[in-house]
Amino acid sequence: MTDSLTLLPAVDVQGGQAVQLVQGVAGSEKTFGDPRAAALRWQEAGASWLHLVDLDAAFGRGSNADVIGPIARELSLNVELSGGIRDDESLARALATGCRRVNIGTAALENPAWCERIIAEHGDRIGIAIDVRGTKLAARGWVREGGDWGKAIDRLSAAGCRTFVVTDVKSDGMLTGPNLELLAAVCGRTDADVIASGGIAQLDDLRALRDLVPLGVAGAIIGTALYVGNFTLEEALEVAEG
């Protein structure tokens, strides 16, 4: 097992633009321009992965497929694609972009049997996004609450899920630091890789996450902190890789 942390810079796309939301709330976004330019910037800075999100698809109000598809197909990054993937048709479209992995979010709550089937069919190309508010799962647009997050982890681990992307909704976009206790608790329930999402504000946060690598934290998604200039991706990679 490697002791380095894989970093996934985030490019969240809304209305054709790269944005960052606060706590996943529509209308809270700051806009950062052309998504492809952002993705290229992270690739040139040394990223090996990209966390690419279609926010309009996630909120059920449209699609940015014409922007997202070319990024996934044409860049050399491994792309983790999220947003609005909740049935066979949307999954097929996402996989057809050539992305390395798709993240299933709301559908994991609403249709766990479907998630189990697609994990069986597609293996490690399927990741499950676990968005947590307190002890509960947060669902579509982070407005509704689902069931107990631990039960979801148990069921989908048993189905063979190899990657969970774990977001503490309260910390997302807030630059308040990652929820280390939650991440350690998730690692304690699964042998799958755990990707930390939300709250990363400074390089010390990445150092703290790197300490959790032996437990199963394999990567970290960084968004707002990069876009507002708290640190550079080069600095972050140096910390993450040790």
When pLDDT is cut at 50, 70 and 90, the band that residue 145 belongs to is low
Q: What is the pLDDT of residues 40-99, one digit of tens each?
A: 999 999 999 999 999 999 888 999 999 999 999 999 999 999 999 999 999 999 999 999
Q: Which of 54, 56, 131, 205 is catalytic?
A: 131
Q: Average pLDDT of the chain?
A: 91
**Please, are residues 145 and 179 in contact by the beta-carbon 8 Å criterion?**
no
- Percent of the chain whose predicted confidence (pLDDT) is above 90: 72
DSSP string, 173-214: TTTS---HHHHHHHHTT-SSEEEEES---SHHHHHHHHTTGG
Specify whether 12 is catalytic: yes
Tokens of 106: 């709301």
Q: Which of 12, 54, 168, 172 is catalytic?
A: 12
Specify whether 88 is catalytic: no
Residue of 165, 171, 189, 190 lying closest to 108 (CA atoms): 165
Single-letter amino acid, residue 106: T
When pLDDT is cut at 50, 70 and 90, the band that residue 139 belongs to is low
